[in-house]
Amino acid sequence: MRLGVVGLGRMGGNMVTRLLRGGHEVVAYDRSAEAVRGAATGGARGADSLEALVRALAPPRHVWLMVPAGEPTEATIQALAPLLARGDTLVDGGNTRWTDDVRRARELAGRGLDYVDVGTSGGLWGLANGYCLMVGGARAAVERLAPVFTTLAPPDGWLHVGGSGSGHYVKMVHNGIEYAMMQAYAEGFELMSASEYGLDLPGVAHLWNQGSVIRSWLLELTADALRADPTLAGLKPWVEDSGEGRWTVEDAVEKAVPAPTITAALFARFRSRRENSFADRLLAALRQAFGGHAVRR
């Protein structure tokens, strides 16, 4: 089918390539003219504005957004919606907070537009392996987009999980689990790196992927990273978070659902960004105050 794609970064650019390989026609727009030229070289029809993108699509139009969540996505939707007509569909494939989807779907329905939220997982490897897609929205709109989902995903790799917001909600929980899994691997490998056995850590990561209970793609990436830089000396111990972990914890608190492991993994990331922790200095000061214990200055 013919689809508009807005946002040709790491994800959007590769998704356009996969769609073109799957026989779809793509009209591609990005605020960077260079990114549009890149997509056009690959076989997409380049658009130099949102207006041009909409003009190049026939009703009912389908436009997939792949821009950063939050303000960039909001601003893009505010700019696009007035250009679209009743029966058209906007798809948000970014990591949007599901509560924003619920509001947007309602607002856009007022204009006769469908809104489909798609939690997308697969990162840079999705181009070759396919993207796991968690799809939320009205059934009819989702069914119209089924050929696109089928091309982007690996076999059995997309699911209509429910109404508006549910796609991003499921993706949020997916990412919360990802935080906890990564933290567990990181702690286990740090422990092994401190052991007296001089372990071959990339070897162990590879070994664990051969039939063990904790085999996973994250472990494959662990083996690759440790093979490339066994001590990881080239990296600072600074770990960002991009929202989904916080939202998972916020939702767990809201619903009084215990999620201690995901919460600890989120807080470990906050901790990684404290280069000279006030809390640790206070701990040292208190130990010295009550017990005369030594401190380092």
Ligand X SMILES: NC(=O)c1ccc[n+]([C@@H]2O[C@H](COP(=O)([O-])OP(=O)(O)OC[C@H]3O[C@@H](n4cnc5c(N)ncnc54)[C@H](OP(=O)(O)O)[C@@H]3O)[C@@H](O)[C@H]2O)c1
Considering only residues 99 through 128, tell me which ones interact with ligand X, judged by CB under 6 A. Answer: 120-121, 123
163 lines the binding site for ligand X (CB under 6 A): no
Of these residues, 25, 74, 178, 220, which one is catalytic?
178
Residue 85 vs residues 14, 58, 61, 89, 286: alpha-carbon distances, Å: 28, 11, 8, 9, 65
CB 115 within 8 A of CB 90: yes
Binding residue for ligand X, selected from 4, 7, 38, 167, defined by CB under 6 A = 7
The CA distance from 138 to 135, in Å, is: 10
The closest residue (CB) to ligand X is 9
User: Is residue 68 a contact residue for ligand X (CB under 6 A)?
Assistant: yes
Considering the rule CB under 6 A, would residue 72 count as an interface residue with ligand X?
yes
Of 120 and 166, the one with the shorter C-beta distance to ligand X is 120
By the rule CB under 6 A, 188 interacts with ligand X: no
- Least Cβ distance, residue 35 to ligand X (angstroms): 5
Please tell me the distance from the alpha carbon of residue 54 to that of residue 33, in angstroms, as a whole number.
Answer: 17
Nearer to ligand X, 95 or 183 (CB): 95
Question: In the annotation, is 236 catalytic?
Answer: no
Q: Is 15 in the site for ligand X (CB under 6 A)?
A: no
Q: Which of the residues 16 through 35 are near ligand X (CB under 6 A)?
A: 30-32, 35
Helix (H) or strand (E) segment spanning residue 261: helix 260-272
Distance CA 191, CA 195 (A): 6
Beta bridge pairs of residue 159: 134
- Distance CA(36)–CA(28), nearest Å, equals 6
Rounded least distance, CB 153 to ligand X, Å: 13
Work out how close the CB of 123 gets to ligand X at its nearest, in angstroms, rounded to a whole number.
4
Q: Is 4 in the site for ligand X (CB under 6 A)?
A: no
Which of 171, 220, 244, 275 is flagged as catalytic?
A: 171
Helices 166-193, 201-208: axis angle to 10 degrees equals 140
Contact 61, 3 (CB under 8 A): no
> H helices within 125-200, ranges in order?
126-129, 139-144, 146-152, 166-193
Chain centroid to CA 214: how far?
22
DSSP state of 57: S
Q: Is 255 a catalytic residue?
A: no
Our finding on whether 76 is near ligand X (CB under 6 A) is yes
Question: For the chain, what is the radius of gyration of the CA atoms?
Answer: 23
Q: Is 67 in the site for ligand X (CB under 6 A)?
A: yes
CB of 32 to ligand X, least distance (A): 5
Binding site for ligand X (CB under 6 A): 7-12, 30-32, 35, 66-69, 72, 75-76, 94-95, 120-121, 123
Q: Which residues are catalytic?
A: 171, 178
